[in-house]
């Protein structure tokens, strides 16, 4: 393992620690939006898809598979954030007074 890889491994572990720390007590009300938002975030794989399909020296296989991945990743991102936003919009409806229930 070279040192760049070791750095990446470190980053990986630290990000996992952050992920664990980040979520502790979340009101049930927000479970679905939270799931939906993190779901949108892993659409970041789109970045990987763009790099994979766009790099030099690809052939037809890479192009087809890669473009499918780009479409998939974009659906994940756009749909994910959009639907999360719609969910959260619904909570705004009505006369919710500040912090109560949840």
Interaction site with a second copy (CB under 8 A): 3-4, 7-8, 10-11, 14-15, 17-18, 21-22
Which residues 30-49 are close enough to bind another protein by CB under 8 A? 30-49
Q: Which is nearer to a second copy, 14 or 68 (CB)?
A: 14
Torsion of CA 37, 11, 47, 3, to 10 degrees: -170
Q: Which does 66 bind (CB under 5 to 8 A by kind): a second copy, another protein, none?
A: another protein
Q: Decide: residue 87, CB within 10 A, 0-12 exposed, 13-18 middle, 19+ buried.
A: middle
Q: Which is nearer to a second copy, 7 or 32 (CB)?
A: 7
Please, which residues have CB within 8 angstroms of residue 80's CB and are 6 or more apart in sequence?
Answer: 36, 37, 39, 40, 41, 43
Q: Is 6 in the site for another protein (CB under 8 A)?
A: yes
Q: Is 59 in the site for another protein (CB under 8 A)?
A: yes
Q: Least Å distance between CB 9 and a second copy?
A: 10
Greatest Cα pair distance in the chain: 58
């Amino acid at each position: 393992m070279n040192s760049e890889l070791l750095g990446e491994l470190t980053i990986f572990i630290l990000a996992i620690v952050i992920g664990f720390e980040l979520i502790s007590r979340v009101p049930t009300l927000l479970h679905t939006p939270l799931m939906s938002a993190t779901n949108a975030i892993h659409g970041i794989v789109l970045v990987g898809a763009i790099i994979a399909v766009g790099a030099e020296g690809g052939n037809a296989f890479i192009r087809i598979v890669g473009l499918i991945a780009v479409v998939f990743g974009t659906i994940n991102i756009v749909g994910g954030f959009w639907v999360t936003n719609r969910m959260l919009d619904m909570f705004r409806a009505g006369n919710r007074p500040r912090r109560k229930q949840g």
